[in-house]
């Protein structure tokens, strides 16, 4: 990072809110308040996404701005679903920042416009769920202009939605000067530097259920990393591409040619490409299912691989030791079931140990973030991304519309 700008590559050198004139201004802040809710009570079960953007809010309030926060929650599909209202988020946000939060229940309607106009410096507001309006997800320019008319400046702190070209993430930048918030600044500077200026050895770890979710990511990381480690369900198409028997393990038949080409690409580049050598295979997808340890390329019919085996765990642990840059996206198995959490726990511990020894470690959002949190390693990771799909597209090297729209240096 240089000065007040973010360095990733030329297209991602964006102006930070640190460089904006905030005194007396109204700021529309796009947040990612897509928090998990208890299905029975509707209560917020984890407020990490709220606390993560609090520093940006406080920064702007302290510099004389009034802040109008906005976000989506869930998938209401353009309908006002009371179970997905941001009302509980307003209450929790008020507790987090230590001051009242005005609520705009009609998004850009007359009540909200009046409340926004009445905001004084140092005050905060939250709009109702943006996706209650069908124009949000279609990036409708009229809706984007209605949002823009509430404020003088636009700031994005929503890395988790930066891969979506919606009215509040991209369209609004046509009408207001647009800056990166402190959280977004951190996300793209840390991840960008890891990809473009990594300390070596650079080890990339990919897991999760499907290889098709990470097709572009595998290819891009093979170009940049010194070694690639693959686990989880996405390993099985690679094993099948090499002629292995994978029993009833998760498998996408149309990915075979791609997997074979990535194995050949790794060989041509002289990059180690780690695949599981053994697996913990279960008879059923259940926490209490009978299981056995077998070779990953000789899983019996009627069994499915639900975790990497002990030999693979040891091998992956050793491959991560000594790394100076680590990017990890996707668990090694079904970590939600204790019997099949060992592989993910071993990798998490190895990443944490490397971090303790000076490595930069980045864990992608989604299941990876949930795993390190659940397993108790989150405090020993350099950076845990707040974006799942956005982190994947970033690692793939795609231009994210919610970042591309921000002001360049």
Residues that are catalytic: 49, 210, 366, 389
Cα–Cα dist 59/323, whole Å: 35
Q: How far is the first Cα of the chain from the last one, in angstroms, to the nearest whole number?
A: 12
Tally of CB atoms within 10 A around 74: 15
3-state helix, strand, coil in the chain (%, to 5): 40, 20, 40
List the beta bridge partners of residue 295: 278
Q: DSSP H helical segments within 242-374, as ranges? A: 256-269, 310-320, 342-356, 367-374
Cα–Cα dist 390/406, whole Å: 16
Cα–Cα dist 360/296, whole Å: 31
216, with CB counted inside 10 A (0-12, 13-18, 19+), is: middle
Residue 283's nearest CA partner among 340, 324, 239 is 340
* Contact present, 313 and 342 (Cβ < 8 Å): yes
What DSSP designation does 407 have?
A: P
Cα–Cα dist 284/355, whole Å: 36
Which region, left, alpha or beta, applies to residue 42 given φ > 0 means left and ψ of -120 to 50 means alpha?
A: left
* Contact present, 256 and 241 (Cβ < 8 Å): yes
């Amino acid at each position: 990072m240089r000065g007040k700008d973010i360095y990733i590559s030329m297209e991602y050198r964006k102006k930070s809110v640190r460089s904006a004139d905030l005194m007396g201004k109204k700021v529309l802040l796009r947040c990612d308040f897509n928090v998990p809710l208890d299905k029975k009570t509707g209560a917020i079960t984890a407020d990490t996404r709220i606390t993560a953007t609090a520093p940006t809010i406080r920064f702007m309030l302290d510099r004389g701005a009034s802040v109008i926060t906005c976000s989506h929650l869930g998938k209401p599909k353009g309908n006002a679903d009371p179970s997905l209202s941001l009302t509980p988020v307003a209450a929790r946000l008020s507790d987090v920042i230590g001051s009242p939060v005005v609520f705009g229940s009609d998004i850009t309607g007359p009540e909200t416009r009046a409340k926004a106009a009445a905001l004084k410096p140092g005050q905060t507001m939250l709009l109702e769920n943006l996706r209650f309006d069908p124009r949000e997800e279609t990036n409708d320019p009229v809706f984007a202009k209605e949002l823009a008319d509430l404020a003088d400046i636009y700031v994005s702190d929503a890395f988790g939605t930066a891969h979506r070209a919606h009215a509040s993430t991209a369209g609004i930048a046509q009408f207001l000067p647009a800056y990166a918030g402190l959280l977004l600044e951190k996300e793209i500077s840390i991840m960008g530097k890891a990809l473009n200026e990594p300390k070596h050895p650079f080890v990339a770890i990919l897991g999760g259920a499907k290889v098709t979710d990470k097709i572009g990511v595998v290819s891009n990381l093979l170009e940049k990393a010194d070694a690639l480690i693959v686990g989880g369900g996405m390993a099985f198409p690679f094993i099948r591409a090499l002629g292995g028997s994978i029993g009833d393990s998760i498998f996408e038949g149309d990915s075979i040619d791609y997997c074979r080409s990535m194995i050949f690409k790794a060989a041509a580049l002289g990059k180690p490409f780690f695949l599981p050598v053994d697996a913990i295979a279960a008879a059923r997808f259940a926490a209490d299912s009978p299981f056995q340890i077998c070779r990953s390329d000789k899983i019996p019919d009627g069994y499915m691989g639900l975790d990497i085996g002990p030999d693979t765990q040891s091998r992956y642990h050793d491959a991560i030791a000594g790394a100076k840059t680590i990017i990890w996206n996707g668990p090694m198995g079904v970590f939600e079931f204790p019997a099949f959490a060992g592989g993910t726990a071993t990798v998490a511990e190895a990443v944490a140990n490397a971090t303790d020894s000076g490595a930069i470690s980045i864990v992608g959002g989604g299941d990876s973030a949930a795993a390190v949190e659940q397993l108790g390693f989150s405090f020993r990771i350099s950076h845990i991304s707040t974006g799942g799909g956005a982190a994947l597209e970033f690692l793939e090297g795609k231009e994210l519309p919610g970042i591309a729209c921000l002001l360049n240096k």
